[in-house]
Amino acid sequence: MVYTSRLNNKKILITGKTSRFCKFLFEDLKNYKTIFTDKKNFNILKFSKMEKFIKNKKIDYLIHIAGLSRPMAVHDKNINSSIDLNILGTANVVKLCEKYNIKLIYFSTNYVYPCKKGSYKETDPLLPINNYAWSKLGGECAVQMYKNSLILRLCMTDYPFVHKKAVKGAKSSFIFNKSVSKILPYLINELGVINVGGKSRDILSFAQKNSDAKIGSISIKKVKNFPKNSSINISKLKKILSKKKKLKELIF
């Protein structure tokens, strides 16, 4: 486990308590003052209830993980939910943070890039590859308007690798969610946009190397609109973590 004294006595609110990612955060943030929330006590579509929940809690940081993600097809079949949860809900979170001067950390995705040539920098042009990515970029637009914020463009996958097959002929910069959980405390005071992932590599090779089960392959030609190269440039992330050897080992 990692620990940074920069967060001593700071109170952190995290949305998306029931997400797979938060099961790792529960452990990695246990030495900090944290409040994990779900839609029952912190519904991001109801600003007044969110405000009532945090009003006297003196929150310093808000890590916004909650939203609609999987299955990807839901963002095509039900754009209303995608818009409500990922765009309007995020806008409400931004408004709340601005009103109470709370530092906001927003979880976005590397899929906001075109995903064709790979090695995308934070300053490269954006062109989301699907409706999920458009919804996350919509959330980014609201967050960008609030300067006391950090956008993490994550190329993250579940640990352990959960699929029986992986795409052959595509590259990415996957990092496991358990690794992101450990490095998050060291990013929380940064501002702007940071790509978070590992080194660029073939997706099938990554899956086979990091799974106890036998991973089959499926040709990229058989998967509709699958990104050929969604890898990201992580030079900025490396620089931030350069003095932490144990953290570097998680991504390189």
Task: Return the CATH number at 245.
Answer: 3.40.50.720
| pLDDT tens per residue, range 84-113 | 999 999 999 999 999 999 999 999 999 999
State which residues form the domain around 126. Answer: 5-251
**How many CA atoms lie within 13 Å of 133's alpha carbon, on the beta-carbon side?**
19
CA distance to 40, 58, 86, per residue, from 176 (Å): 28, 32, 22
| pLDDT tens per residue, range 200-213 | 999 999 999 888 88
Cis peptide before 160 (omega within 30 of 0): yes
| pLDDT tens per residue, range 122-173 | 999 999 999 999 999 999 999 999 999 999 999 999 888 888 899 999 999 9
Number of domains present in the structure of the chain: 1
| pLDDT tens per residue, range 35-47 | 999 999 999 999 9
CA distance to 84, 110, 129, 199, per residue, from 165 (Å): 32, 21, 21, 21
Residue 122, amino acid: E
Residue 216, amino acid: G
Q: How confident is residue 1, by pLDDT bands cut at 50, 70 and 90?
A: very low
**How many CA atoms lie within 13 Å of 162's alpha carbon, on the beta-carbon side?**
7
